[in-house]
Amino acid sequence: MDDAANTGISEPLDLVKLSLGERVFIKLRGDRTVTGLLHAYDAHMNVVLSQVEETIHIVDVTEDGNPLPPRIEKRNLEMLFVRGDGVILISPTQQ
Amino acid sequence: MSGFFGFDTSLPERGGQRGGGGQQQFSGFQASNVDETFALGGAGEEEDLAVYTWGEGGMGGGGLLEGGDELNDETFGDDLGEISNNFQFSSQPAPASTAKGKIASTQSRYKPKPVSDPFAFSEDDFYSSRPTKKTTTAKAPSRPKPPTAQSGSVENLWNKPAVSSPAWGTAPSSMTKPTPPPSASYPSQPPPGHIKSLEEIEAEMAQMAIPSTSAAAPTQQKVLSLEEIEKQMVEQIEPPRQATPQQPAPPREATPTQVPGLAGSGYASQQALLDSMFPELGKGPSSALGGSTPAFPPGPRQEGQPQPPHPPQPSPEELARMEELHKRITSKIQSMAKYNNLMGSSDKDFITRIQLSQLATADPYTSDFYAQVFSALKRRRMIAEGQGDGPTVVQVGAGMGLGVGGPVGNRFGKMGQNTMTKLSTQVKKLVENRAQHQKVTNTAALQGALGRVTRGNAAAPRPVLAIPTSNKPENRPASQLNQQTGIHRAALTKKQVMFALEELYDAILELEQMRREAPPPTAMEEIEIWHAKCQAKVDIIWRRLMVMEPLDISNPHPFISLINPIKGQKLFPRLLRHLPHTQSITLLSLLIATYTQLDVVSRAPPPPVADASLLTKADRLDRAKREAETDNFLQFVIPGVDMIINRCGLGLVAGMLAISAQRSEVWRVAATRPGVALYTALLSKAQSLIRSPTPDPMNPQPNQQVDPAELEQWSKTFTYFLHVLLPHLNDLFPSSVAQKAAFGPGAYLIGGDAVSDREGQEMERREAEVWGFVAVLAVNAAEEDQTNLVAALREKILHTVQSSRHPNVSPARAEMKLRNVNMFLNGLGLDASMIE
């Protein structure tokens, strides 16, 4: 049955299509991740999300160059446009 | 045309009175002529053949060419013969100083109009670069005799390729070389000396195959000889003749530079293009001149400008005009030439591809959806204002449209309208063209199949535009298994569900688009076709919904799987709009029969807890998700369900209730919000059918009288339903459930003061749903059942009424509580105020 479903999928982005309207997890360059409801995407992986939670992983460095333990900063956004060149991966959230 | 370059530099210096530009122009445009003549005069025909033919093509005048040929042959022969002679001469005279002066004199002598004479200019060049050349040229003309006496030697010269080719180029050098055999006689002194010298020269030339350019000294010697030659020439030859032979020399110089320039630079090609664009410019002067002096094609042309006698020349204004034009064109070309080759053809191809793919689309409506909707709105307004309308979607071929629609061309302003029409016709042409080609070779599907994307080749260029061919066989996960009935299989995977949903969305969008494109009501045939198409689409959707799969084929049923995700729920109302009544009834039956399989029922959100901090994060998320799903279900699916139920007769409603009672534990379903909503809808519809048999004033016929059999069936079903439900009636209320589920300190908090007023009101709202349900139950119930009902709910009623009078309960919430209770009691003819 999986085959049956797969035959309709001809390119990678077809898989992203399956997540339309669903919550997705997106990993971004710059140590960021976002999760949100996928509204739209395009061939460049530009993405429009709503109910977004953005997570930024920050490693602060002391003056003498020693890294402090990483900390996480979060913020919530109503609606977000993510430019595709920053996208590393898109995956459906596990729930 | 690179002759241009050669001339260019010197011309300005020359300070042409007439304007260097004019000459430039001529040289530029007539380069073909010049080349050809030069080629002929300069060297063996074989060698310069390429240039020659090219020039010929440009000229288009065969006659001119031939005439020139003959002449050149003569002169050429002379030259060769002369070379030997010259060499002799040069050897003889020693005084260099005089030579220089003489040269100056010769110039002045030969050219009364020296400044403007193009050859003079070339001479200058020669002086600056290598003086010898000048002398040779001068000598060459002086000798008309050689043909007779030295014909044999000349032929020899011709036959020897080595000699022939260097003839012009090496001429100076040959003259320098001769110095060793100084014995040669004066140039003016004819035959005997000539012959000897020639032979010697031949020998020398053979040796000189790799000649070294002469030093300054030898040239001077030659100069001397020149002087003498001049004298002879004055005696023997007419001035015009001399002038003509001279010409070859300068152009010859120019040609070598020309050729490489032509081949190498993009500029040259542009010049060629320019020539092709304005052939008359190039031809005009030459033809005019050619008529006058066909014998000396090069001469007249170039000398023509400066020399009034030589005549049929374009008037100064004309020249000026052409010059002006040429200047403009040239400057334009040059300014553009900066950007030559900045973009490769593949780049251009790439951009064309992108542009086209956006312009031509198989689905113009959806690819520009928002613009289309906007334009639809705008058009409505425009029509209201009395303005005309046009099609929103520009069709550019079968199944292809222009991807850029817009509100009647206004999208790009006033100018946009024209541009858009132009654009659309162009794209249309392209698409048609492409479609024709694609019929022939349709291997596009295999493109890149082996992992290598070809760029295409000359034979099979990569298409700029790929027209989609949609003949992909449709597949559905469920149907193939349906062939063996009674089989039980695994539920659809999440991926399959999502995939099926996307397919459904696509189909629905297409169908909606089709409906929008309804033909005008007058065209009967079209309407029928259109109906058939829509129906076909609906059938496809119906199959994709998988409603007709056997009930027990999987758990959850495929259709339920589809409607579980929010995405599927949102699809539901859009689906119903298109389904015919019978199909929607079927769908509802299936939905009710498998109601328990719904996520929102089987995994209904758990009762609220007093203290959310007791929950883990995952728990909280899960709850939120379930709540969201339930809300969505109530928002999107239930209205549809209501709608279908409202179209049912009592028999059907009874049947549905029976199905639900048979296939599920009613009280469990009723404990969920979707369940409550469903039953409320069913029961209230039944009641309205029973109480007022003609609910539809527009259509009073069908339900005039409720069929007694149906009525009986209904009451039976309902009684059974109620009795199943009665023992669990209290558990339907969310507050009771919450109370029950609470433990520890939470139990005291639930329903107490600690609960915020907002949450409390939310709770009352949920309670209202259930109160509404029990009210419908009460209305439908027979008398004795009503008593049972009240008995079962007695405690709940009392508690609610009392808590509404509790001082800690906010007035708003108290009022809600009372209203809830009254909803039920009023149905029985009672009121909360009657309770102590």
Half-sphere exposure of B531 (CA within 13 A, CB side): 8
Interface probe with B: pick from A18, A42, A76, most Cβ of B within 10 Å:
A18
Chain A's closest residue to B493, CA to CA, is A2
Three-state SS for B518? coil
Return the pLDDT at B129.
45
Task: Please report which confidence band the pLDDT of residue A37 belongs to, taking 50, 70 and 90 as the band edges.
Answer: very high
Return the pLDDT at A47.
95
**DSSP structure string for B701-767:** STTSS--HHHHHHHHHHHHHHHHHHGGGGGGGSHHHHHHHH--TTHHHHTTSTTS-HHHHHHHHHHH
Shortest alpha-carbon distance between residue A20 and chain B (Å): 8
Return the pLDDT at A90.
93
Return the pLDDT at B659.
87
Highest-pLDDT range among B404-418, B436-450, B492-506? B492-506
Inter-chain CB pairs, A–B, below 8 Å: 46
Return the pLDDT at B326.
93
B622 touching A (Cβ < 8 Å): yes
Query: Are A4 and B480 in contact (CB < 8 Å)?
Result: yes
Return the pLDDT at B199.
66
Q: Is the dihedral of CA B723, B727, B730, B731 positive or negative?
A: negative
Residue type, A3: D
pLDDT at B306 over 70: no
pLDDT at B75 over 70: no
Q: Give the range among B333-337, B343-347, B681-685 with minimum mean pLDDT.
A: B343-347
Q: Which residue has the higher pLDDT, B441 or B38?
A: B441
- Average confidence (pLDDT) over B36-40: 44
Rounded Cα–Cα distance for residues B43 and B76 (Å): 8
pLDDT at B657 over 70: yes
Residues of A in contact with B503 (CB under 8 A): 8
Confirm if A16 and B495 have CB atoms less than 8 A apart: no
Q: Which two three-digit tokens encode residue B63?
A: 């006659």
Task: Please report which confidence band the pLDDT of residue B163 belongs to, taking 50, 70 and 90 as the band edges.
Answer: very low
Highest-pLDDT range among B155-159, B344-348, B368-372? B344-348
Torsion of the alpha carbons at B726, B731, B734 and B736, rounded to the nearest 10:
120
Q: Give the range among B414-423, B489-498, B772-781 with minimum mean pLDDT.
A: B414-423
Query: Are B496 and A4 in contact (CB < 8 Å)?
Result: yes
Chain B's closest residue to A7, CA to CA, is B475
pLDDT at B259 over 50: no
- The edge-to-edge listing of strands for the beta sheet with A71-82 is A71-82, A47-58, A32-41, A23-28, A87-92
B546 touching A (Cβ < 8 Å): no
Return the pLDDT at A53.
94
Q: Per residue in B658-678, is it b (16+ CB within 10 Å) or e — as a string? A: bbbbebbebbbbbbbbbbbbb
Percent of chain B, pLDDT > 90?
Answer: 1
> Of the candidates B399, B409, B408, B396, which has an alpha carbon nearest to the alpha carbon of residue B359?
B396
Query: Are A20 and B477 in contact (CB < 8 Å)?
Result: no
Query: Are B498 and A2 in contact (CB < 8 Å)?
Result: no
Q: How confident is the prediction for chain B on average, in pLDDT?
A: 65
B500 touching A (Cβ < 8 Å): yes
Q: Which of B502, B566, B621 sits opposite A18 (nearest CB)?
A: B502
Interface probe with A: pick from B499, B544, B554, B567, most Cβ of A within 10 Å:
B499
pLDDT at A39 over 90: yes
Radius of gyration of chain B (CA): 52
Query: Are B502 and A20 in contact (CB < 8 Å)?
Result: yes
Confirm if B772 and B809 have CB atoms less than 8 A apart: no
Return the pLDDT at B467.
56
Residues forming a β-bridge with A71: A58
Query: Are B496 and A9 in contact (CB < 8 Å)?
Result: no
Return the pLDDT at B780.
83
Q: What is the 3-state secondary structure (H, E, C) of B207-267?
A: HCCCCCCCCHHHHHHHHHHHHHHHHHHHHHCCHHHHHHHHCCHHHHHHHHHHHHHHHHCHH
> Of the candidates B315, B390, B399, B411, which has an alpha carbon nearest to the alpha carbon of residue B365?
B399
- Residues A1-26: pLDDT tens digits? 444 445 566 788 888 888 888 889 99
Return the pLDDT at A29.
93
Chain A residues with CB under 8 Å of a chain B CB are 1-2, 4-5, 7-9, 17-22, 95
Chain B's closest residue to A38, CA to CA, is B567
Q: Which of B490, B496, B570 sits opposite A5 (nearest CB)?
A: B496
- Residues B701-750: pLDDT tens digits? 454 566 778 888 888 888 888 888 888 888 888 777 777 766 655 555 55
Crossing angle of helices B3-14/B118-129, nearest 10°?
A: 90
**pTM for the structure as a whole:** 0.51
Highest-pLDDT range among B387-391, B478-482, B687-691? B687-691
Q: Which residue has the higher pLDDT, B227 or B105?
A: B227
Residue matched to tokens 């859009």: B574
Return the pLDDT at B133.
42
Confirm if B223 and B179 have CB atoms less than 8 A apart: no
Residues of B in contact with A22 (CB under 8 A): 498, 565-567
Return the pLDDT at B452.
55
Length of chain B: 836
- Average confidence (pLDDT) over B286-304: 43
Crossing angle of helices B566-576/B494-516, nearest 10°?
A: 30
Q: Which of A2, A18, A95 sits opposite B498 (nearest CB)?
A: A18
Return the pLDDT at B748.
55
> Of the candidates B822, B777, B828, which has an alpha carbon nearest to the alpha carbon of residue B797?
B822
Are β-strands A47-58 and A71-82 bridged in parallel, bridged antiparallel, or unpaired? antiparallel
Rounded Cα–Cα distance for residues B65 and B428 (Å): 49
Return the pLDDT at B230.
65
Residue type, B167: A
